[in-house]
Structure 1
Amino acid sequence: MPTTAPKRVTAADVARSLGISRATVGFVLNDTPGQTISDATRERVIAEAKRLGYRANSAARALASGRSRIVLLVMPDWPLDHNLRTNLDEASLALDEAGYSLVTMTPHVGGKAQPLWETLSPDVVMGLGPFTREQIARFRAAGVEHIVPETATEDGFALDELSDGPALQVRHLIERGRTRLAYAGSADPRLADLLALRRESARAEIDRTAGAELVTTADVDASNAAECLAAFLDAEVDGIVAYNDDIAALLLGAALRAGVDVPGRVAVVGHDDAPVASLLVPSLSTVHIDIAGLGRYFAQMALTAAAGAPVPTTRPFTTAELVVRETT
């Protein structure tokens, strides 16, 4: 025989069990301000609700309070790498401590799913950069009151460099006596804008420095890492600036398989200080960024917006630190 789901315990059940009014129980369970309910009654209600297995109806509570206590982060279509995971983990933890849940979604061109800002009634919709005017109009039409950032651009996400990581990579290689440098980017098309930023930052630092030159660039993936490394060596490259640690690891692996001495023949420096960097043999020199602090900052922006207060108009400069290991 099919089983039936147990009946949900309601505030009325708690009131009936205690022999007090439904209104009193509701005031206690909803923590309604301005009510003169004794501590003894409040404790009785909470204890009985727990004994009966009462669980708040989150939809009803959101309707009554006008708040869902949800922050929706609308993500660009990026791979979920080490930095992004750390950012999200820290933001989620900071929001959870304040009683909010972080939900993420990535809209896709031609996607059929109903947008979460229409189904979740989030208190705040956030982005990692400016939204398009069309996106903001959709949020407003769905009843979203707080949007961070509120300033729109025609093209949407406006990237800005949060650290001097690429410059640190270049300066470190030059300090190690490397003068013929290559930039190894990612072949993942989702990273094209971020890659352009980091590559141009590295190129600008090379241009500012006498005695070194950017000999060549290449976009690397697992299928062409050996070929890219061979091209770098043919061009007499002695230092490789990698977009991130994954790209650096691919080139390091290709070098080890080909019997190329790292860092004797060519030095390699990554970016992001992913866990893999310290596990490789030789271990990978890289750039560490306080991305966790940025995640907490994003959470604070959301909480400020949810309270109806003006959010900061500038983001903090995220500190970068060179981590010197065996590949340089």
Structure 2
Amino acid sequence: MTAADIARSLGVSRATVGFVLNETPGQTISAATTERVLAEARRLGYRPHIAARALASGRSHIVLLVLPDWPIEYSLRENIDEATHALDEHGYTLITYTPHEGSRARPLWETMQPDVVLGLLPFSDPLVKSMRNAGVERIVPDPDEVSEVRYNEGGPRLQVEHLHDLGHRRLGFARPSDPRLFELADAREEAAAAAAIALGLEVPVTLATAPASAEADPSVSEWIATGITGVVAFNDDVATAIIGAASRAGIAVPWQLSVIGHDDTPMSLMVEPRISSVRIDSTGLGHYLAALAIHAMDQTPTPDWEQTSAVTLIPRASTSERPTPHG
């Protein structure tokens, strides 16, 4: 079913139908005629041809969010959901895509004609070249500017400050075992180190954790033997693994070791003791991503990162005051 079929059915011009269906501005088509065209389109089951509409209007109303090769965890899912809803309110569809090195499939920006390609990290030169060759005009972060989509560094600072306020002076930073998260873990560990130095503490000791499928537990007893009394965990999954390992080793959390997570996922409430964590404003971050895309398309005001990057400390039972020498 095409627009020409609707025109023949109503006895109006193909141009009139096209103006109505494409919502072409500056036309003087009456409200009655507009309603007749829309009603007939519904009756005949008309569906627009996306590529043709994009060619005619210059817009596909698609935002392509290119994700790094990260596991899709709770916090990232929340951010994507909020960005999806925010863009939907402006008439845009968000589609996610993760390119993989060595993939033989054509990248989606070659087949979907997105209005914007949005990334969580700056794109490599080969990817930018591929997008430009496919006709993509709007890329965020802009490869021609020294800018990037920013991440909140306030979470690790709150983790360190919380443990410091409880009297802990020797801390560890527990990293994830998944290599796909190492880049983000590096950023959080650097932020934790900066927070510790600002408080006059030593840089937190880097602590490795085993994959979730491994039988071996983290060496919690060895950590305590080196004087560590508080652990800043990369996220709640890592915090959960440490609490489980401590329990199996007969180490009491938080009386012998305090553990604080990050992201405040449902997992933080499913273990005993419940995990102190940092809650991220997923709504704000999702809206920030959407606003970046809309800014690139419509030149709306640049979104304010500081207004969308709130983090909140949620203290629970996994952290307490530093243990006494005989604790």
TM-score in terms of structure 1 length: 0.88
- Residue in 1 that maps onto 2:32: 40
Amino acid at match of 2:24: T
| Structure 2 unaligned residues grouped into runs of 5+ | 320-327
- Residue in 2 that maps onto 1:74: 66
Q: Is the 8 A contact 2:221 2:249 kept in 1?
A: no
How far apart in 1 are the matches of 2:249 and 2:233? 19
How far apart in 1 are the matches of 2:55 and 2:203? 59
Match status 1:299 vs 2:277: no
Match status 1:175 vs 2:165: yes
Q: Is the 8 A contact 2:156 2:191 kept in 1?
A: yes
Match status 1:288 vs 2:275: no
- Offset of 1:161 from its aligned partner? 4.8
Amino acid at match of 1:287: V
How far apart in 2 are the matches of 1:99 and 1:116? 20
SS class of match (1:131): coil
Match status 1:227 vs 2:240: no
Computed over aligned residues only, the root mean square deviation of the Cα atoms, in angstroms, reads 2.4
Q: Is the 8 A contact 1:263 1:327 kept in 2?
A: yes
Q: Is the 8 A contact 2:171 2:231 kept in 1?
A: yes
Match status 1:324 vs 2:315: yes
How far apart in 1 are the matches of 2:119 and 2:15? 40
2:154 to 164, 173, 187: 164
Q: Equivalent residues in 2 for 1:233-252 (5 A)?
A: 233-252=224-243
Q: Equivalent residues in 2 for 1:150-161 (5 A)?
A: 150-152=142-144, 161=151
- Residue in 2 that maps onto 1:268: 259
SS class of match (1:102): strand
Amino acid at match of 2:81: D
1:54 to 46, 51, 61: 46
1:84 to 76, 81, 93: 76
- Residue in 2 that maps onto 1:4: none
- Offset of 1:69 from its aligned partner? 1.1
Aligned positions, number = 316
Task: Identify the range of structure 1 (194-203 vs 260-269) with the bigger mean alpha-carbon deviation.
Answer: 194-203
Amino acid at match of 1:91: A
Amino acid at match of 1:218: L
- Offset of 1:310 from its aligned partner? 7.3
Task: Identify the range of structure 1 (167-176 vs 18-27) with the bigger mean alpha-carbon deviation.
Answer: 18-27
- Offset of 1:243 from its aligned partner? 0.8
- Offset of 1:260 from its aligned partner? 2.2
Task: Identify the range of structure 1 (156-165 vs 45-54) with the bigger mean alpha-carbon deviation.
Answer: 156-165
**Identity of paired residues, percent?**
50
1:205 to 183, 192, 195: 195
Query: Residues 268, 15 of structure 1: CA spacing in aligned structure 2 closer, same or farther, 3 A cutoff?
Result: same
Q: Per-residue CA shift, 1:283-315, capped at 9, x if unaligned?
A: 1000112132122111111112112x2773974
Q: Is the 8 A contact 1:163 1:319 kept in 2?
A: no
1:143 to 120, 125, 135: 135
Q: Is the 8 A contact 1:132 1:157 kept in 2?
A: no
1:216 to 205, 218, 229: 205
How far apart in 2 are the matches of 1:260 and 1:269? 16
- Residue in 1 that maps onto 2:185: 195
- Offset of 1:225 from its aligned partner? 6.2
Query: Residues 241, 225 of structure 1: CA spacing in aligned structure 2 closer, same or farther, 3 A cutoff?
Result: farther
- Offset of 1:34 from its aligned partner? 2.1
Amino acid at match of 1:81: E
| Structure 1 unaligned residues grouped into runs of 5+ | 1-8
How far apart in 2 are the matches of 1:146 and 1:41? 36
